Chain A
Amino acid sequence: MSVLFSLMAHSLVIMCLCLLLLQVKRWGKYWPIGYAIAAIVMVLPVSHWLVIEFSRGLLGDLSFACILMLATYLLTIMKTDRTSNASSFNGLVILMAVVLYPTSLGFGQFDMYSIGFASSGYYNYLVTAIAGIGIIAWYLGYAQIAIWLTLSVLAHGLNLFESNNLWNYLLDPLVVIACLVSVIIKASKLVLKKSKSRAHNGGSNVQSNA
């Protein structure tokens, strides 16, 4: 069962990548052809493997943060006002990465990753904290976070993928990179907007002085 779910997640990766490269948004009424091409690419045999098996070999099972991000992208790709990651989602993913990754790379004797296994003494605290954040996020209206955390905990509870570790369901490096890029783009846009507005205000002042 985990193979099926995993390959479905990788079909999302290939689909999104193909649609992005094909710029299917510009195809107008021919957009279904773009989707059909992407669907064919997914199951193209290359050597001994299908393209989605290559993707699974290279990336492993994807986290639900990544799946949610890809699904959102896929569902809104044809829209003019495409939905992007909420800042709160970006922030929480990056915060979790900052907490998880350094110790997993060998900084210090304590391994944050190990507390994601049920037999760890801290596992109950992790599950409770994630569930608590999810419920609070829903209550406060941060839907993307609430959906992400709910799906992650539920999938982990059902052992949907190969991993027994809750962290693998929550985040992966791909979504962390995507969130970092999203934050950088948003920050750049904000800086650009502010500098434009300052230039505009400065220009107005000059005119008024004149």
Chain B
Amino acid sequence: MIVGAVLSLNHERFTDPVFYMGADELIESQAPFYVQEDASDGMTKSVHSSTAVSLPNGNLLAMWYGGTREGHTDVNIYASVFDRKTQQWQKSKPILDRYQVADDLDRYIKKVGNPTLIRHPAGPLVLAYVTVSMAGWASSQVNMMVSYDDGQSWHASKHLVTSPFLNISTLVKNDMVIYQDGTIGITAYHELIGQFSEIIRVDLNGQVINKYRISSGAETIQPSIAVLDNKNAVAYMRDTSKDVQKVRRSVTSDGGLTWSPYESTMLDNPNSSVFAFIDSKDRSWLILNNAKKHVEHALDNGGHQSRGNLALAVSMDQGVNWKIVHYFEKAQEIKETGKESKFSYPWVTVGENGEFNLFYTWNRKVIKHIRFNQAWLEEKA
């Protein structure tokens, strides 16, 4: 017992978290710029949950999961590169399937999903994604892979143990954060009984260092963290409750170690994912579905579509007050078109040239990519 206790007490310790800010991107063009294209190329019937990261050569690497349908065993994680010179997306290719993950982790894997990417300041790309072995998404587990050649090859997956319940019910969706000591904060959420947000702090070797709870209870998932400085950040969360239905907000002033009790913002949220980012003028921006009712399918709600638009909101006071300034998508009411539209799971990454790149799922068929710049945002703000 004494030996065990001494060994346990000698485990590596990490200091309290301090956010890494990075250098501001250089802004090349000042003329407003806005271009839309498809990142996916129809390789699979269904696509969802895109993520992207800028590469040192100015290209973009995007990933998503695709297959017959969400959760099907034939779902793979696909990757595609946007070539900055040709301004074209290259043909997508599968980079990860459940068999490869199973071989890496020496266990049964039923399905894969929700990739999230970040470029570590030390160079490597880090991919966090979920796998399911037991039942639905609520029994997900998180895994991590690292690439040292900008995504051309990936080291074997590491399985992250993050829960005392057979290690189930930790999921990822939004952007990770980096800490000053080089550790990574994976923004995660829990879906079994309670539905709440947290940060899983890991090192580049995939060792889990600690967990920091952003929210508790059963109504806030998929945190998107806007880092303001080394110590301050704001988390915006998807509302899974049945009554309030607003984007939820929580703040930290100690690098994400502790978070304030969450509050409702003025922005509606029909139980759908949001994504926050900060522009070069320190304004807060949020991509969201600006709709009220909680309905999974529009037909259940008299034709009003909960994910039938994709809006851009801006805040000058760190997320307290918001103004909707633009719609990237705005479908007509279903009673007019007879078709349901769904625009979901936004993701924004900033390119090497300071350009903003928005990715989102378009009707589960296409991963859309919209490029815009600071000047375009200035016009909207």
Measured CB to CB, the residues of A under 8 A from B are 3, 6-7, 48-49, 53-54, 56-61, 100-101, 104-111, 113-114, 117-120, 124, 127-128, 130-131, 134-135, 138, 146, 149-150, 152-158, 161-168, 171-174
Please tell me if the beta carbons of B5 and A131 are within 8 angstroms of each other in the complex.
yes
B31 at the interface (CB under 8 A from A): no
Question: Within B262-310, which residues are at the interface with A (CB < 8 Å)?
Answer: none
CB-CB nearest in chain A for B192: A105
Write out the residue numbers on chain A whose beta carbons fall within 8 Å of the beta carbon of B194.
Answer: 105-107
CA of A49 to CA of B133, assembled, Å: 12
Please tell me if the beta carbons of B108 and A56 are within 8 angstroms of each other in the complex.
yes
CA of A124 to CA of B11, assembled, Å: 11
B29 at the interface (CB under 8 A from A): no
Please tell me if the beta carbons of B161 and A163 are within 8 angstroms of each other in the complex.
yes
CA of A61 to CA of B107, assembled, Å: 11
CA of A7 to CA of B3, assembled, Å: 25
Please tell me if the beta carbons of A105 and B193 are within 8 angstroms of each other in the complex.
yes
CA of A190 to CA of B185, assembled, Å: 51
Please tell me if the beta carbons of B207 and A111 are within 8 angstroms of each other in the complex.
no
CA of A166 to CA of B5, assembled, Å: 11
Q: How large is the interface on B (under 10, 10 to 19, 20 to 34, 35 or more residues)?
A: 35 or more
Please tell me if the beta carbons of B161 and A168 are within 8 angstroms of each other in the complex.
yes
CA of A154 to CA of B8, assembled, Å: 7
Q: Mark B201-222, 1 if CB is under 8 A from A, else 0.
A: 1000001111111011110000
**Chain A: interface secondary structure?**
helix
Write out the residue numbers on chain A whose beta carbons fall within 8 Å of the beta carbon of B102.
Answer: 48-49, 53, 57
CB-CB nearest in chain A for B220: A106
Please tell me if the beta carbons of B210 and A157 are within 8 angstroms of each other in the complex.
no
Given the known inter-chain contacts A56-B106, A105-B194, A113-B163, please indicate yes or no for A164 contacting B5, CB distance below 8 A: no
CB-CB nearest in chain A for B10: A157
Nearest CB on A from B67, distance (A): 17
B261 at the interface (CB under 8 A from A): yes
CA of A149 to CA of B321, assembled, Å: 52
Please tell me if the beta carbons of B106 and A104 are within 8 angstroms of each other in the complex.
no
Nearest CB on B from A68, distance (A): 14
Please tell me if the beta carbons of B13 and A106 are within 8 angstroms of each other in the complex.
no
Please tell me if the beta carbons of A109 and B8 are within 8 angstroms of each other in the complex.
no
**Chain B: interface secondary structure?**
loop
Stretch at the interface among B19-27, B83-91, B164-172, B227-235: B164-172
Nearest CB on A from B315, distance (A): 25
CB-CB nearest in chain A for B103: A48
Nearest CB on A from B157, distance (A): 12
| 8 closest residue pairs by CB, A with B | A106-B194, A157-B7, A57-B108, A154-B4, A153-B4, A118-B11, A163-B161, A57-B133
Nearest CB on B from A166, distance (A): 7
Please tell me if the beta carbons of B1 and A134 are within 8 angstroms of each other in the complex.
yes
B190 at the interface (CB under 8 A from A): yes
Nearest CB on A from B98, distance (A): 9
Please tell me if the beta carbons of A118 and B211 are within 8 angstroms of each other in the complex.
no
Nearest CB on A from B140, distance (A): 12
Given the known inter-chain contacts A106-B216, A119-B14, A168-B161, please indicate yes or no for A58 contacting B133, CB distance below 8 A: yes
Write out the residue numbers on chain A whose beta carbons fall within 8 Å of the beta carbon of B7.
Answer: 154, 156-158
CA of A114 to CA of B164, assembled, Å: 10
Please tell me if the beta carbons of A100 and B164 are within 8 angstroms of each other in the complex.
yes
Write out the residue numbers on chain A whose beta carbons fall within 8 Å of the beta carbon of B258.
Answer: 109
Write out the residue numbers on chain A whose beta carbons fall within 8 Å of the beta carbon of B164.
Answer: 100-101, 104, 113, 165, 167-168, 171-172
B360 at the interface (CB under 8 A from A): no
Please tell me if the beta carbons of A118 and B12 are within 8 angstroms of each other in the complex.
yes
B35 at the interface (CB under 8 A from A): no
Given the known inter-chain contacts A128-B5, A153-B1, A157-B3, please indicate yes or no for A104 contacting B163, CB distance below 8 A: yes
